[in-house]
Amino acid sequence: MIRRIPILPTLLVLIAVGVMIRLGFWQLERLHVKEAMLTGVEAAEADTTVRAWRGDLPAPRAYSQISTECSKVTGMAPQSGQNASHQSGWAQVADCVLPSGTRAQVVLGWSSQPLPANWSGGAVTGTYLARGKDGSAIVADPPLAGLQPNATPDPRNIPNNHLAYAVQWFLFAGVALIIYAIALRKRLRAD
């Protein structure tokens, strides 16, 4: 009797394994992109030059020091945060319109109470943070509106776990092949 390997299940497993391997290589590509970004962030953090920014393009490098003007405050909201002593509390965040007309969030400072700060705008100096689709944020240094200093933004808190994800995808592919080989062997023996 001829032992036949089932075509459709084998094809599905091989496609799934191929997708998992591709995802592993994609994570390795992301690893290199993230490492380059972190190198740029470290360089920006090391540069203590304060550069003026009106909110126009190009945006400053993440973690660089900037000065700008909050022309108009359009909203104020407390968010969970930490102060410079790493105590939990409330980061007071103002939604601002910058001189170019673009918007940015300004983290004014820290307080132990969630009550919004009283601040109507003005000059801001601090650390620039890019927030992807959410726009820009500036962590004020010195703090504004009589608040305490926030925890200093630390680029070492940016996760870089792409290598672990790549290894996981490669392991998933290997395990899927092993499980399918065992199941196939049992089926062929039963035939």
Angle 122-95-110 (CA atoms, 0-180°, nearest 5)?
80
Cα–Cα distance, 160 to 136 (Å, whole number): 21
5-11 mean pLDDT: 90
Q: What is the pLDDT of residue 60?
A: 85
Torsions phi, psi of 15, nearest 5?
-65, -45
| Residue 5: DSSP 8-state | -
9-20 mean pLDDT: 96
pTM of the model: 0.71
SS3 147: coil
Chain segment 118-173, per-residue pLDDT in tens: 899 999 999 998 776 667 899 999 999 999 999 887 777 788 999 999 999 999 99
